[in-house]
Every structure is written in C-alpha cells, then in structure tokens.
Structure 1
Amino acid sequence: MAAVGVVAGVLAVLAGLVGALLHAGNAALGRTPTPSFWLMSLAAAIAYGAMAVLLRRSPARLLRGTMAAIGLAQGLALVGQEWGWSGTGSWQWALWVGSWAWAPGYVAVLAVLPQLLPEGQVVAPRWRWGLATGTAAAAFVALQWALTPYDLQDFPGSLPPGAVNPVGVAAVASPLLSAVGGALVLAAVALSASSLVLRWRRSAGVERQQLKWVGLGFALTVAVAGVGQLLPVGLTEAFAALAMLPVPVAAAVACLRHGLWGVDTVISRSLLYAALAVSVVVVFEVTIRLLGSVPSLAAAEGTVSAASALIAAFAALALHQYVRPRVNRLVHGDVDEPHAALARVGRQLEAASTPDELAERVVPSVLTQVCRVLRADGARLVLADGSTADHGNPTGEAALDTRLDYAGRPVGHLALWRQGGFAAGEQQLLEGLAAQASVAAHTVLLSREAQSAREAAALAREAERRRLRHDLHDDVGPTLAALALQAETARELAASDPQASLAILGRLVTRLSGAVESVRALAHELTPPLLDELGLGPALEELAARLATARTTVRAHVETLPAMPAAQEVAAYRIAGEAVSNAVRHAGATTVCLTAAVRNGVLRVSVADDGTGLPAEESRALGLGLSSMRLRAEEVGGTLEVTSGARGTTVMAVVPLVTDEAALGARRGAPA
C-alpha cells in the first residue's frame, strides 16, 4: 500500500511536468483555452504529488493516498486538457478527461484532507461518516462534470473546434442535481472545519502547534477559493492555482518546525527537486515562447522544442548548485548540516584573545547558532562559574535542558525554550550540538581561570616585593644605619680612646655578621644556594630536616633526580618548602612525608600529612599560599593537585621536565 501511494505521487509530479511541457508547446503555437486553469493543475500535481512521496516513511497511509490521488487527478486533468488542444490522436477522450479530472481533487482539498490532518486519521472513529461525506461530495462533483455536455457546464471555457463530450447527458445539468452537489460540498467542508475544531480542543503541545499550521492552510484555501469565484475570469484562474498551495505548504511547515510525520530527513531533497522541476518548466516555457516569436523559427516546432529542452536542462544543472544550499538552510535552520553552524564558532574562538572577548562574542554566537538550528525562541547558557548568557526570550520552564561536559568535567548546561515544545528527535540533536557548545564553554572558563591565575600571580609577586621591601627597610636598613653610626663613633675615638674604639669595633664585627646573615637569608628566599651546592634531591632532604620540630616529624623519600633547568628546580623546592611549612604550622600533623621522583620524564613532588585537613571553603578558594604554589607549578609547565580529607592533606606538584641543552645550560651556568 505504501508503494502504491509513493508511485502515485511520483506519477502525479511527472504528469504535472508533462502537462506543463504540452502547455508550453500549445502556447507557442497559440493553441490554449481561455481560461485554461493549467497553472492550478500544475501547482496541485507537483505540490500534492511531492507531499505523497514525502510521506513514504510515514504510517499515515490514508493521508498519503489522499494526497497522491489529488495530485494525480490534477496531473491527468492537465495532460488531458493540453493533449485535447493538440488535436492529435484520441484528443476527444483526452479533452474529456481534462474536463472533469480536476474536480475531485479540488473538492477533496477542502472536504476530505482537513479531516485527516495532521496525524493521517479521523479525529474519532465515529467521524468516519464525515470522511465518507467528503469523499461522496468529491465523487458526485466529478461525475456531474464528466457527464455534463460542454456547452451546459457552469464555467465553460473555450474549446477546440468540433469538441463534444462523448458521454454527455443533458439531464445531468439540471439545477436540482447541481443543488445536491453544492449541498454535499458545503456539508463536507463544514464537517472538515468542525473536525479541526474538535481536534484542536483535544490537542496540546507539539500537536497543537501542528494544528495551527493546518488550520491556517485550510482557512487560506477557503478564503482564496472563495475570493476567486468573485473575480474576473483571468484572476479566477490565478486564484484557483493559489488555492491549491496553502494546505501542502502548511503541512510542509509543520514537518519542518514541529516534526510532523517524522519526515524531516527526506524533506530537503523533495523540496529541492520540486523547486528544480518548477524552475525547469518556467525556463522551458519562457524559452519556447521567445524562440517561437522568431519568424524564421516559428514553423520549426521540433527544433524549437529541442532547443528549449536543452536550455532547460543546462539551467537545471546550474540551478541545482544555487538552490540546494538554500533549501537545506530552510530545512535545517541555517546551514547544510546543523553541526556546521557551530563550526563558525570555532573560527571565532581562534580570533578571540581575552576572556571578555570570548564571553562577549563566542558565547552569544553559540546561543544564536543553536537557536537557529533548533528554531528555539530563547536559550540560556549557564557556565560552571555561575555566569549566564541569554539569547532571545528564555522565559518560563525550559523545554530542553542538557548538561555540557568537557573531558568528563561539567562546564555548564544549556537550556532552550520554544512555544509548543520540541520533538523527540530534537533532543538528540541538542545533545550533539552540546558536545560542540561545551568546547566554547570550556574555552571561556579556561580563559577566565588563566586570567584569574595571572591576577593571583601579580598579587603574589607584589606581596613578595612588599615583604622584601619591609625586611630591607625595617630590618637590614636600620641595622646597617646603626652600624654606620657605630663605625663613625669608633673612628672618632681611635685617637683619644683606642681601647673604647676597639671595643666598639669588636661589637661592630658581630653585628655585621648578623646583617650579612640577614641579607643571605633574603637571597636564599630568592634563589636557595643549596640547589647550586647540592642539587634538588639533597636540598629537599635538608629542607625536611630543617623544618622538622619536636612535635612534627618530617620524613624525606627522594630518589636520584636528573639534572633539570634551574627554574624547575626552584619551583619544586619552593612548592615543597611551602607545603611542608603549612603542614607543620597549620595542619596539626604529627608526621609529614616529602617524596620526590621522576617517572617518564615527569617530576612529581608530594607532601602528605596526617593532620586535620583543609576547611572546605579554603580548599575551594585555595588561599594565598596554595595559589602561590599552583602559580609556581604552572609557570614551569606543571600542575598542582590538592586533596584533603579527615586523614590529612596531600599536595602534589607534577612538572614535565625540560631536557633541551639551552634550558639545562641555565642550570649548569649558575654560580656555585
């Protein structure tokens, strides 16, 4: 059954195209009726035939068959009418088919189709009689047109010479039968409208959004068809063609926006080839008219048709490249593939250089692209640091919400809003887009963390400078000033009281030695001399022994370490010193274990204690000391890991070693 509907849909489209080509040929030779209504039949054949093919994967078999029947009937009407006007072969019978085949499809658009939309079945089992009424109305009108002599039809057009209805019966044109047919049509249309109203009352969510479009298409069809009956003949023909389009267009929009029938995977190709088909017909007709107007070519019908067909074929090839991306943009929202929309965000990531620029350009771009792809009314991106960014109108309860992860780490979540909700397949699409959006979110967070680290580094350096300035100003400076005064006093007493002068100089030597030790201590804080004298391993062992107290034992387990750049040695030594000092002074630990080893070119320095652990808020904020240690590790390409619990705290610095000769030279060339 599904194959029959698809085949009928394909035949409807082909019949419409063939009829259009026949009309183009007749028009070039001046053999067209007035009015011809060919455009109405062409529009219906292609639109409804394409929709029938579009529904090939849908379970709505009755709806698919109805659309195929409407399109095929209109296509046959167009072929029959144009063949009849050609005057070749069985043109009388072809003209007869064209005189009535349009009627059932025209009536079914208003009397049958709305009762099946949007799900492809009647609103309730008892409404099958309404569907039967619509079918009967379409069949009655078609039969009346088929049996009515041409000169007695309500809306006669011009006819080819000698045209006679081969099965015409004058009695069929009686006013009574016409009134019965009109009553049937009005009743069926009223039932269709009532069916839509009842379905609307029972619907909710996505189905209600689908019904909005179906109802709009139905209302426009009634309005356009009704207005067309009141206009002059030429305009009536145009309005009749327009009346064939609102329902299939509304159904297509329901497919695109609200997942009707689940056919979004094939709709882009169907629209593409439908657009190409219409373009080919237009190009062919324009070309054949232009060539037919040339006197020297007017008599060569075959040459004109062949040349027009060739030009139309080349036009189709050229239009394919132009139409395809635009059709895909219509279907998928913004680009050929939904994920390609966020590819542009990657290029913006490369161009952005500061956290503010990332937050101002990249995050809004992510939200804009996601909203375009999923046609959302609003979106909100909440990053892990608590910052938010909005796009559109993110109000009410989020219809879709997904978490953003990067390398197993949550970086935020993305929420979308759309009136009427989202289809099931769109949730999967959002998850796919979230995988790419998480890259932008992670980049923004990473940039902000780096900016915070740089600010912390600046604060730490400034604090260190202030401490050094304080020590020099309040300790070393006054000491040296006092020593200078004592030296001046000793010089003044050298002649008058040599013994007093010598006593002052003796005390001066002792105090100078203390000042030297103070300066040496400050220098040690900048670059520990033990690193140059002993190397990192022994220096760490000496550090452990020096920082141990009567209450806290500090054990060192240091393997033989290879040579490494001075900057990395200093960083490791300073981190170890800060961590051991914190454990001894603040952790309440009885044992502190300092270990250092190199594995696979990576230096690991660990300080573990059995103290009380860090308070939760300090662990999060890291504090100035922990920030300083982390900064030292990052400055030499490493990382700092801090774990804390009831059994103590562990601080581990992981530093990939640099082994190039230039970096090692800085270590070898250091003064002893």
Structure 2
Amino acid sequence: MAARDAGSSAFAGARGAGAPRLPGTGPSDRLIRAAALVLAVLCVLVAAGGLWAGARLGGAVRPDPIAWPSWTSAAAGLILAAMGAVLVHRLPRHPMAWLLLGGGAVVSAGGFCAAYAGLSVLRHGGDLPLTAVALFVGGRSGPLENLIVPLVLLLFPDGRLPSPRWRLPAAVALGCVGLVILILFTIPWRIISEGDPVFPGLAGIGLDPVTPALPDPVWQATRVIIVGLLLVSVAIPVAAFIGRFRGSDPELRVRLRWMLLAALVNLVIIAAIFALRPYLPNVQKVLWPLCLGVVALAVLIAVARHRLYDVDLLLGRTILYGGLAAAVIAVDTAVFVGAGTLVDDPVAAVVGAGAVGVLYAPLRLRIQRWTDRVLTGRDDPYDVVSALAERLEESVGPDELLREVVPVLSAAFRSPYVRVELDRSGGGTHVVEHGAPRDDVVVLPFAYRETQIGRLALAPRAGTRLSDADQRLLADVLRQAAAAARATALTEEIQRSREQLVTGIAEERRRLRRDLHDGLGPLLAGAALKIEAARNLAGRDLPAADAALAEVRGDLSTVLADVRRLVHDLRPPALDQFGLAGAVERRAAGFAGGALEVSVRTGGDLPGLPAAVEVAAYRIATEALANVSRHARATACEVRLSATPDALEVEVTDDGVGLPPVIHAGVGLVAMRERAGELGGHCTVAPRPGGGTRVHASIPYGTAARTSVPSGGVPGAG
C-alpha cells in the first residue's frame, strides 16, 4: 500500500505525503486558498478580456481559427476555473482541484490570445504589441486542452493513479498528448487552416517561427498521426478508469459513477453536434465548453458532495431518455424515409412515423428495465412492490408469507442471500432463508405500528452497497410485508384464542361437574340418608336422632361453603353487592394493617361495565395488592380506578423497595397480563418515579354499556 501511494502520488504532482488533507488544517491551507482565489480572478479577467475583444470583432468577417475561440474558450475557461476554485476552497491540497483550476487558466489564456490577435489584425492592421506572439499562442495552444480529459480520467477521483502498474501506460498516454502538442506547435499555419479563409493581413505576420523545413506531404501525414495519438491518449485513460471502477469498493464506485454520468451526457452532446452540424456549422464550437463543464461538475460533486444527489437516478434517467431518444429518432427517420421512398406517398410516411409512436411505450419499458438492472441491480420500485403484493395475496399464513417475500426481495435486488426473521407472539422466531448464508449482510429491523416484529438480513450484490434509495424501497416493502404478516398473525392469534376459550369453557364445566359430582353430590346424598335415619330414630331414641341431625347440619354447612366457593370462583359476590369500587375497597381493607396503609380512589363515577371487565379489574387489583403485601415492604399503597371513553384504567402504586434489577415473571404477574390481554388490553409493571412500583392495566370495555352509574355499586344489589 505504501508503494502504491508513493508511486501514484509522485505521478500526480507535488501534494505532500498521504491523502489530500481537509481544509482549515493550518496557515498553509489559507495561503493555498488565497493563491487559488488570485488565479481564479485572473482567469475571470482574462476571459472577460477575450469576450471584450471578441465583441469588438462583431462587425468583421470572423474565420474560425481566430474569432470563435474568444467566445468558446472564455466560457470553458470560466467554467473550469470556477469549479476548480470552489474545490480548492473546500480541499486546498486536492490534485483534482488544481487540475481544474489550471485547465481553466490555460483555456482562458488561449482564448484571450486568439481574440487579441484577431482584434489586432482586423481592427488595427496587426500594429498592436505582441500580435505575433498572441496569434501563435491563441492559434496553437488548443492542444494543451487535450491534457485535461486524460488527466481527469487517470487521476479521478482522489488525484492518484489506480495502482502503480498504471504508471507506464499513463506516461504513454501523456506522451501521446505531448507529441500532439509538439506537432501542432510546429506544423505550418497553412496546414492548420487548410480549407478555412485566412485574412490577407496575416501574410505579414510570422505565423511559423519554429516550423521545420519539411515537405507538405509529411505535414499532411502528421494530421493522420495526430488522430491516432489522440485516440491512444484517450483509450489508455479510459481503460484505467474502467479498471479502477471494476476494482473499486461500493463507496468509491458511487463517486466514479459521476464520471460515467458525465460521459453519457457528453455522448448526448456529441450526438447533438453531429445532428445539428448540417444546419449550424459551428455548433461544435458552441457546445464544446458544455462538454468540459459537465466533466468539471462531475469532478466537483464526486470529490466534495457525492452523497448530496442520487447518481444512480441521474445516470439511469440519462441512459433511459438518451437511448430512447436515439432509438426513436433512428427508427422514425428510417420508417419515414423508407415509407416515403417506397410508396412515394407522404401519407405513408406519416403513418410510418405514427407506428414509431406506438412502439414508444414498450421500447421505453425495455430500456428502463435494462437500465435499472445494470445500474441499481434491482427492478423498478413499482414493479417490486407490485410483485410483492401479488405474492402476499396468494399467501395464507405467516410461514407461507415469508416464503413468498424472500424470493421476491432476492430477485428484485439481485441479492445472493436474504433472511427474514419473524418474532412470534407466543415466543420464538420463525426464520426463512434464500441463498447461501454470508457474513456481509445488512440487517434492517421492521416494525408494525412502532413495535418491532422481525428483522431482514440482505447481502448486496458483489461490489455494490445498498444505496439510500434501496434502503427506502426496502423500508416500504418491509412495511407492506409487516402489515400483512401482522394481520395474518393476528388471525392465527384469534383462532388460538377461540380454541383456548372453548377449551377453557370445557375445562371449567368439567371442574364444576367434578366438584358437584364428587363433592356436593355425596354430601347431599349422605345428608338425605342421615335425615331418614333420624326420622326413624325420632320415635324411639331422641338423643340418637338429635345427634344424626347435628351431623346433617355440619354436612350442609360444608355444602354451603363449597357452593360459596364455586360461586366466588365464577364471580366474586362482592362485585354484585358493592360494585367494583366497593369490592376493591373491602378487599384492600384485608391487606391493610401494621405499617401498610391502603387507599382506594376512583376518578369520578365508573360507567356500567361488562361482567368480564369487572372481574378482570378486581382480580388484577387483588393480585397487585397481594404482591405489595408480600414483597414491597411499603408503608403506603394506593389503588386508583378511572374510566376513559374506551377503557377502564386500574393503577396500583406503592412506596416500597421497587423492582429487582432482573425481573422473573411469576404466576401473579403473568396472570395479571393474561387477564388484561384476554379482553384486548394490557398490563405493565414498572418502577414508580420517586421510588416504589407502579402496576397499570388498561382494559377496553367497548360500547356495550356506557350508562353512568354510581361507583358504589349496581342498583338493586344487596
């Protein structure tokens, strides 16, 4: 790694050891920024001078070699200098910043010299100072601009080569550019301007001060050589960029995609140049600054703000609509021309063009899908959600639902491994996997109504990462799947609750039958026999008859106690006698005593409550009081009963020792939660602010009985 950094950094230029430092790390950074600002201002002044000189030429005939650079070079120089200055301000030591700023200076200077020379020749007869030098620089400095794009491709985005093995190819590429510069600095002016009008006034100016004496055929051959050298100088940096892209990590690849976007935009611009050239001969001169500006903007964003925008979205839309426009134009032109030629009927040509419109929608869809798969590794978000919705409609249970969701996610995101874990309400976790397990997974929890119900583990494609858009899409998909999973799970819970209810009723009936048959039945049968025996003894042995009746009385007392126990188990009689508040008060009085004081409060009159709600509230309050008495070591305990429009609230607080660090839910805590949960409510046990424990239960009572009755009891209860 050290060798790589040393070699690459040496090629990139003087930049100090290590990676580019952040701005503001010392006085030297402020000096660098000041120097960059001065250079940027000079670029602006030079570009402004070129624009002024070009404007002064407005009334003259302007041949391409002289007039157009004053406008195009000024625009290109300003763009490069502005982007470079902004980047230097943020990262003063970054090589890419100085590459843009230096490129802007070179382009601006060349344009100014060309405009100055043109102004001198056309307006002043070539009498302005340094006209020959300005003409030489302005007419031949263009090749220096050929260094900008190769250097950007070689050093983008961190100012270093992809690896040391690219040093020799990079030197070859830059050597080719150097040869082009050398040839164009020495080639005769008549060869450069061949086919273009030349001012008569130029004849007296030394246009070829360093031109070797070679035959014209040799110079003509160099024009072909220049094309080959330029191709090599671009092909090597492109190969280096591709190699860097293929070997990059997901973070670096996001930055490199900005240059891909710039390349695609430039391809569109080049296509526009070829399409418009028959109508606008100088269109390439106008659009050329735009090409450089796109590259400079890509460098600026990728280096300084690559996470600010979604490059995948921009890149995808560029490919989609650029490819679509090219395809539609090509097909439309072919159909229009072909139909008009073959049939010799303009109407047929119009019909053929209309056929292209019919093909537009499926063509767009195919390009869109291909773009999404190549760039993002997944289908269009709507297609993902639509496919998932279809699978969810076909699933009938949570297990099958997960088996449907997992392959959809794997196919949509081109993921080699997907795992979904769904927490079951009764405990445990259901897991469904697709693909071979991996370590490089992204784990995302998913929730239903702010309650986490599971987790998704997804491995991105090799060499990619989950973008922000991918994570947002996953969140939407998981939200949809979570709602479906929760609905299905609730359906199963309801079914289990029904089964438990039926089983509970059957067990309760069996217990009642057993108590009646095994307890009350024999006692009553024995009492009847004893009464019959006492009746037989009454005429001849009164003491024996009296003793028999005394035994009967004891048996009936036992029967009465058993009946009361059975009735109390079904529903505490105190609820019918005193109402919920009164029953709780009397039960609380049994726990008071010693150091513990118990109080019961009601928040106004309680509404008429369903029997099940009253029993659940009474049992929860009783169990909470029992826990306070046994474990809290409290001196004060308060029971509060209140009603909201939808639920009965039961709160029991104490000032005791509070909860232990580790809570082991015993039978009592579980029973309280189950009693509230059976009616759709909940019960929580938590520390009380200021010390002690707080038990809070909320029990919905629905709309069955909303008539307000006194909290002391039910009318007619005695």
Same fold (TM over 0.5): yes
CA distance in 2, matches of 1:323, 1:664: 67
User: Are 1:417 and 2:459 counterparts?
Assistant: yes
1:327-366 correspondence to structure 2 within 5 Å = 329-330=372-373, 334-336=378-380, 338=381, 341-342=384-385, 345=388, 354-362=397-405, 364=406
User: SS at the partner of 1:557?
Assistant: strand
CA contact (8 A) 1:610 1:647 kept: yes
Query: What is residue 570 of structure 1 aligned with on the other side?
Result: 615
1:267 alignment partner in structure 2: 315
Which of the numbers 579, 601, 608 marks the counterpart of 2:653? 608
SS of aligned partner of 2:600: strand
1:1-48 CA distances to partner (integer Å, 9 max, x unpaired)?
A: 9xxxxxxxxxxxxxxxxxxxxxxxxxxxxxxxxxxxxxxxxxxxxxxx
Helix, strand or coil for the counterpart of 2:324? helix
CA distance in 1, matches of 2:492, 2:341: 74
Instruction: Tell me what 1:326 maps to.
Output: 369
The aligned residue for residue 683 of structure 2 is 640
Matching residue's letter, 2:417: G
The 2-side partners of 1:435 and 1:318 are apart by 27
| 2:417 paired with 1:378 | yes
Distance 2:452 2:249 in 1: 34
Partner Cα separation in structure 1 for residue 527 and residue 388 of structure 2: 72
Match of 1:487 in 2: 528
Q: Secondary structure of 1:534's partner?
A: helix
- The Cα of 1:515 is off from its aligned counterpart by 1.0
The residue that corresponds to 2:576 in the other structure is: 532
Q: 1:115 touches 1:192 (CA, 8 Å); kept in 2?
A: yes
Shift, 1:641, TM fit: 1.7
Is 2:670 the counterpart of 1:627?
Answer: yes
CA distance in 2, matches of 1:318, 1:342: 21
Aligned counterparts, 1:454-473, within 5 A: 473=514
Residue by residue, what CA displacement relative to the aligned partner does 1:300-350 show, whole Å, maximum 9, x if unpaired?
Answer: xxx3896377436634755576457536744555554x4773476567667
CA distance in structure 2 between the partners assigned to 1:570 and 1:199 by the alignment: 73
In the aligned structure 1, how far is the partner of 2:592 from the partner of 2:495? 33
Which residue is 1:658 aligned to? 702
Corresponding residue of 2:267: none
Q: Determine if contact 1:601/1:657 at 8 Å carries over to the other structure.
A: yes
Measured in 2, the distance between the counterparts of 1:389 and 1:473 equals: 47
Aligned to 2:478: 437
**Does the CA contact (< 8 Å) of 2:524 and 2:559 recur in 1?**
no
Q: Secondary structure at the match of 1:650?
A: strand
Contact 1:328-1:335 within 8 A present in 2 as well: no
The 3 A distance-change label for structure 1 pair 366 and 506 is farther
SS in 1 for 2:694: strand
- Number of aligned residues: 503
CA separation of 1:274 and 1:609: change in aligned 2, threshold 3 A:
same
Residue 481 of structure 1, CA deviation: 0.8
CA contact under 8 A between 2:639 and 2:652: conserved in structure 1?
yes
2:632–2:656 Cα contact (<8 Å) kept: yes
Distance in 2, Cα, partners of 1:603 & 1:312: 70
CA distance in 1, matches of 2:354, 2:487: 58
CA distance in 1, matches of 2:498, 2:717: 27
Cα gap change, 1:433 to 1:458, in 2 (>3 Å): same
In the other structure, the counterpart of 1:280 is: 328
> Matches of 2:643 and 2:623 in 1, distance apart?
20
Contact 2:520 2:562 in 1 (8 A): no
Q: Is residue 579 of structure 1 aligned with residue 579 of structure 2?
A: no
One-letter code aligned to 2:702: V
Counterpart amino acid of residue 368 in structure 1: S
Q: CA deviation at 1:525?
A: 1.7
User: What is residue 639 of structure 2 aligned with on the other side?
Assistant: 594
1:246-280 deviation per Cα after TM superposition (whole angstroms, max 9, x unaligned): xxxxx9xxx9xx99996323223322323333332
The Cα of 1:510 is off from its aligned counterpart by: 3.1
Mapped to 1, the partners of 2:231 and 2:367 lie a distance apart of 42
- Conserved 8 A contact 1:414-1:434: no
Cα distance in 2 between the residues matched to 1:623 and 1:450: 28
- The answer to whether the 8 Å contact 1:493/1:501 transfers is yes
The worse-fitting range, judged by mean Cα deviation, of 457-466 and 507-516 is: 457-466
Shift of 1:605: 1.0
Amino acid at match of 1:637: G
Summarize deviations over 1:411-433 as a string: whole Å, max 9, x none.
5554443366556x814652564
Task: Quote the Cα distance in structure 2 between the aligned partners of 1:305 and 1:471.
Answer: 93
Distance 1:281 1:656, change over 3 A: same
Q: CA deviation at 1:588?
A: 5.5
Instruction: Please list every run of 5 or more consecutive structure 2 residues that lacks an aligned counterpart in the other structure.
Output: 1-39, 41-82, 88-95, 104-145, 192-213, 261-297
Q: Distance in 2 between matches of 1:114 and 1:294?
A: 50
CA contact (8 A) 1:208 1:420 kept: no
Is the Cα–Cα contact under 8 Å of residues 367 and 380 in structure 1 kept in the other structure?
A: no
Output the aligned Cα RMSD: 6.0
CA offset digits 1:531-575 (Å, max 9, x no partner):
233322212212222455667554322353222223322222222
Shift of 1:204: 5.2
- Structure 1 residue ranges without an equivalent (≥5): 2-55, 67-107, 148-168, 216-250, 298-302
In 1, Cα distance between the equivalents of 2:245 and 2:235? Answer: 15
Does the alignment pair 1:368 with 2:407?
Answer: no
- 1:40 maps to none
Aligned-partner Cα distance in 1 for 2:382–2:238: 41
C-alpha separation between the residues in 2 aligned to 1:387 and 1:491?
Answer: 67
How far does the alpha carbon of each residue in 1:158-179 deviate from its partner, in whole angstroms, 9 at most, with x for none?
A: xxxxxxxxxxx99748999799
Whole-Å separation in 2 of the counterparts to 1:587 and 1:461: 37
Q: Give 1:133 shift.
A: 3.6
Q: How far does the alpha carbon of each residue in 1:386-436 deviate from its partner, in whole angstroms, 9 at most, with x for none?
A: 6554444552344x455556665555554443366556x814652564366
- Decide which of 538, 555, 572 is 1:511's aligned counterpart: 555
Counterparts of 2:309 and 2:551, CA distance in 1: 101
- Per-residue CA deviations over 1:74-114 (Å, capped at 9, x if unaligned) read xxxxxxxxxxxxxxxxxxxxxxxxxxxxxxxxxx9xx9699
Which residue of structure 2 lines up, in the alignment, with residue 33 of structure 1? none
Distance (whole Å) between structure 2 residues aligned to residue 545 and residue 379 of structure 1:
59
SS at match of 1:562: coil
Identity %: 27
**What is the Cα deviation at residue 195 of structure 1?**
4.6
TM-score, with length taken from structure 2: 0.53
How far the C-alpha of 1:516 sits from its partner, in A, is 2.0
CA separation in 2, counterparts of 1:497 and 1:394? 90
**2:657 & 2:683 partners in 1: Cα distance?**
20
| Change in CA separation of 1:655 and 1:138 when aligned onto 2, cut-off 3 Å | farther
